[in-house]
Every structure is written in structure tokens, then in C-alpha cells.
Chains A and B, each alone.
Chain A
Amino acid sequence: MQLSRYWKRDIVILLVAAFVVAWANGDLEGLLGIPGWQSYTVRIINMCAINTVLALSLNLVNGFTGQFSLGHAGFMALGAYTTALLTMSAAAKDRVFFMTPLVEPLRKLTLPFLPSLILAGLVAGVFSLVVGVPALRLRGDYLGIATLGFAEIIRLVIQNARSVTNGALGLKGIPPVVNLWWTLGAAVLCYLMLKNLISSSYGRAFKSIRENEIAAQAMGIDLFKHKLLAFFISSFWAGVGGGLLASLLTTIDPVQFKFPLTFQVLLMVVLGGMGSLSGSVISATIVTYLMEFLRVVEETHYLGSITIPGVPGLRMVIFSLTLVLVVVWYPKGLMGDRELSAEGLKQLLARFRKAIRLKGESSS
């Protein structure tokens, strides 16, 4: 009985959410004449959702399992290129690959978006095993170095394997399939999957490794297996995130997937709290919005006769400084390893009300 009541609540929430998404996405315009949101707002929400997927997945390894991966951009690149090459039409590929033709089976092959996206995740996942199997077998923290090197190698391979990736020229004309349904759908799915995983016995195994590796092993936990499992799932979602990004941007090139991309996701994880899923969701949203607003510092402004030159890359400097400040002054981030819950919100609200009431009493 209790369960069915919970389900009812979930269904109501889902229906309301679906309605809002349909409206924002512009699906209701033809049906009810209600226009969708402005494309600019929709674009930022799409980015928020994709960044949520990326932050959640990196948090699984770095926050919950206590391993240090720095290879997210590499796995995203694998996912982005896989999605692009599988969804582009033969004609679009021929237009792009004018210097070096694309190798044969790929040239004619075009798949629908969903299977391409799943394959993007799987390709990234398989490569995570290639890095993870040697790096995670060793004791100590070799994963950081191995993944950092791996991501750079992937990028260089992409830059040079022109008959597959079109090299430094990148890919253009990737079908813009992605909309709010895809990005928010992926974010919700990723969140639910990780939430179930983390609260399960497997999640406890991950956290025990983070807390004390020697004790975890002494309690019968297979360290290698569980680290690899977390790393695989994390990389799978990085690949999916890369695929979504490719379709959202419609153009990709190797330069996009340099280390600053990983750094940006890492910032979201640390800012939100290592080991907090809701923290990652919140901070992915905040950081995405800030990245948008801070565009002004990289643009040139004219105030009458005064010209303020924009500084390219200044946003990254600001974010690096933010990360340093957070790590030094507020190492737990927004949420620490706690989760946002309805119960917690109620308590916060109650405390807030009480504070207001007290203030009211003291001033009267």
C-alpha cells in the first residue's frame, strides 16, 4: 500500500516534468499554440543537463570510489566521435572528408541516434578497461597519471587518424538530433542509475574502498573488480555525454577535448561535493550558467571612447582560482558527501522560518 502511494507521487512528478519539458522544447506550440522557450535558454539547459551527466559520472570514480581519474575528456572525445561518425549521412561525410576519404565501412554506415549513443558509451567503456586494467591493478594512485596520458593520446590519435576522424579539421554537419528530451532524459537516467547503484551493496563497496582500502580488502572486497566497475560505468556515461555534446554542437574537433574540459568537470564535482550526487547536479547547473555569464570577460567592450579588450581564456583562469579557493577554504564543497532530500529541505525551511520569527520578535 505504502509503495503504491510512493509510486503515485513519482508518477505525478514525472507527468508535471514531462509537461514542462514538452512546453519548453516547443512541442506544445503546434498542439496548443503555446510557444516554447527561447532557443538561447534551451541551449543553456541542454548544456546544464549534459554537464550534469559528466559531473555525476566523474563523481562516481573520484568522489565515491576515491580513485583519481583525469581522463574524462578522452572518454568524451571517444563518445563524441563515435556518435558523429555513426549518425552523419554518407553525403555529409563525403562533404567533410574531402582531404582524405573516410574508410569504407564507416563511409556508408548510418545508424539512428539512440543506438549510436549507446555505442558511444560502450566504446568509451571498452577503452576505460584498456586503461583501467593495468592502472588499477597496481597499488597506489596510478590512475591519475594513466588517465591523463591516455586522454592526451586519444586526442593525438584523433588528430592524426585522418581517414577515420578527419584529423585537425574536425567533423561538421553532425545531425542536430539532441533536444531537451534527450539531454534531460540522459541526465535523469544517469542520476537514477547512479543513485540506485550508490545506495546498493555495490555502492557500499565503492565507498569502503574510498574510506580505507586496506580494511575494505580485509573485509573480502575485491578492490580491482570494484574499481574497474566504477571506472567502466563512469566512462560509459562520459562517452554518452560526449555523444550528446557532439549532436548539440553539430561540429567537433580534437582541440575541444583538451585537458581544460576535464578540469571543468572536475571543478563541478569538487564544488558540488565529492560523493554527493545532488551536489553534482546543483554545481553542474551553477557552473554552466556562470560559464555563460562570464563570456563577457572574454569579449571586447566599447564604452564610448574607451575600449576594454576581452581576454581569451580568462574564464578558465577565474575557474581555476575558484577551484583553488574552494579546495583551500571549503574542501567539502556545497554538499560534502550528503544528499539533498525532501526531509533535509523541510528542516532547512523550518530553521529559516524560526530564524525569521526570532528576528521579528526581537525587533518588535
Chain B
Amino acid sequence: MILEVREMRMQFGGLLAVDRLNLALKQGELVGLIGPNGAGKTTVFNVITGVYAPTRGTITLEGKDITGMRPDLITRMGIARTFQNIRLFSRMSVIENVLVSLHWRLRSGVFDAILQTRKYRDEEAEMRAKAMDLLARVNLDSVADLPAGSLPYGSQRRLEICRALATEPKVLLLDEPAAGMNPAESIELMKFIQKIRDEFGLTILLIEHQMRVVMGISERIVVLDHGVVIAEGTPREVSRNPRVIEAYLGVEQHA
């Protein structure tokens, strides 16, 4: 097990956002985390990545306890994420967005940077080459110098994924990457996610609130409703589960 969540509970005041969550990801797996709006999916990500310390429970990465660690340290241990509402550094260029993710590995000190020493310039050149390579792999190399905020929506989503990849994660958490896309775009994005999973040898946990989107690519799906897991299994099993159908029908009737 590369990532393990045990008995997680997250309480916001009187609101129990997530309760008794157990989750285990095997190396190389692509797992879908689905559930209606407000089910607690994003909260699960926020607790795993250290934005919130859980009220109860533990999270381990490759056997090491990372519960309640600072988010930047968790990223350095090997968990990267994207955000449901895109959080790019909009006024920075596309390549700079990727370069920020490489900063924590920088060996040169601040004096090297100020004096532009040989050591620093070599590292900077290395970082730029690496960032360009990553951008090329997500087809964004041609817009490397444009402001990130000026990209079309779909490209922004891909840049967010690229930026997360640049931290060299073992586990990648994607929060509704297909939100706001039409069915054709969603299918393309899912293919892209499968591709990077294989190329980078990643383990992926993918949040989606439409079941249909993740059906095709997830090996396993976990369904969350009102903060608790109501079903778990292969896409086929989950889609036939009456509790899942009920949870989703309930939402659709409201909508």
C-alpha cells in the first residue's frame, strides 16, 4: 500500500464532513472518488495534503505517518494535487508556474541567486530544461511564455496537472479535473490522465462528481455520501449498487 487512510474523521464545528473513512491505494492504481456535491470529497484531499489536521485517524505514505504534517512537507514526501477551483499563479508565465514546483529541490542558496553564481546559473538552466520537457509532454510548450491566466480553460487544467507533476510525486490527487468540460473534452482528459499515470508510474486518486466520467478509466471506485463511504468496488459493481443509485437520484431530483 502506497497511501493509506485509516478511520479518518474531519469535523468543522458541528459539521461532520468526513467520518470513518478508510482508503488504501496500491502502487500504480487509479481510483475514483465520487459522490454528490458536499459529500466531503475535497475535504478528504485537504486532510491528506495537510491543509487540515484530521479530528481523528491517521494517514500514511509508504508506511510513514504524515498525519497533520505541513502541506509543503507532504508535497516533498511525494503527494501532489490539483484544485477543484483552478489555483494557478495567473500573472506568472506558464513555464514559471512549473518552475515554482521545482524550487524546493534547489540546492543553491539565496546568495548564489543574488550573485548569479555559476552554480546557480547551471541549476536554473537545468530547471528550465526540465520544465520545458514537462510542458512538451502536456502539449503546452508552445505557450510557455504566456501568462498562465490567459490560457483557455482546458489548457489551464492541464497546466495544473503539469505543475503538480513537476514536484515529482508518487501519488497524484486530482480534484474534479473535468469540471466545466463537455463530454468530448472529458473523455480526452481521462485518456490524458491514464497516459500520464503510465508514463510517470503514478498512483492516482481522482475526484469526480459525475460517475460516468470515471467509469471508463478507474480500476476501483469509492463512493462518498454525507461524509461516509456508501459503496466501494469495480465501476460495474458500484454502478449497480442501489445505495449509490439512490444517492445520485436524490441529487438529480433536486437539480
**Which residues of A approach B to under 8 Å, CB–CB?**
193, 196-197, 200-205, 207-208, 211-212, 214-223, 229, 337
**A207 lies within 8 A of B127 (CB):** no
Name the 6 nearest CB pairs between A and B, nearest first.
A220-B104, A200-B113, A211-B89, A215-B87, A220-B75, A219-B101
**A205 lies within 8 A of B89 (CB):** no
Closest to B173 in A: A218
**B51 lies within 8 A of A207 (CB):** no
Cβ of B83 under 8 Å from chain A = yes
**B92 lies within 8 A of A204 (CB):** yes
A252 to chain B, nearest CB (A): 30
B56 to chain A, nearest CB (A): 23
**B115 lies within 8 A of A221 (CB):** no
**A218 lies within 8 A of B116 (CB):** no
- CA A149 – CA B101 in complex, angstroms? 35
- CA A72 – CA B41 in complex, angstroms? 44
Residues of chain A with a CB closer than 8 A to B108's CB: 201
B162 to chain A, nearest CB (A): 11
**Additional 17 contacts, C-beta under 8 A, given A196-B115, A203-B113:** A196-B116, A197-B110, A197-B113, A200-B113, A200-B124, A201-B108, A202-B103, A202-B113, A205-B100, A207-B89, A211-B90, A214-B51, A216-B100, A217-B72, A218-B75, A219-B101, A220-B103
**B110 lies within 8 A of A222 (CB):** no
Which among A205, A214, A219 has the highest number of chain B CB atoms within 10 Å? A219
A38 to chain B, nearest CB (A): 37
**A212 lies within 8 A of B88 (CB):** yes
Closest to B123 in A: A201
Supposing A201-B113, A201-B127 touch, asked if A208 and B75 sit within 8 A by C-beta, the answer is no
Residues of chain A with a CB closer than 8 A to B89's CB: 207-208, 211-212, 215-216
- CA A200 – CA B51 in complex, angstroms? 28
Within 8 A of A (CB), among B34-91: 49, 51, 70-72, 75-76, 80-81, 83, 87-91
Closest to A192 in B: B114
Cβ of B167 under 8 Å from chain A = yes
- CA A87 – CA B226 in complex, angstroms? 70
* Pick from B88, B99, B114: contact of A215, CB under 8 Å: B88
* Pick from B75, B80, B99, B123: contact of A204, CB under 8 Å: B99
- CA A214 – CA B106 in complex, angstroms? 20
Residues of chain A with a CB closer than 8 A to B120's CB: 200
* Pick from B81, B92, B113: contact of A208, CB under 8 Å: B92
**B100 lies within 8 A of A219 (CB):** yes
B224 to chain A, nearest CB (A): 21
**A219 lies within 8 A of B110 (CB):** no
Supposing A205-B100, A214-B51 touch, asked if A196 and B113 sit within 8 A by C-beta, the answer is yes
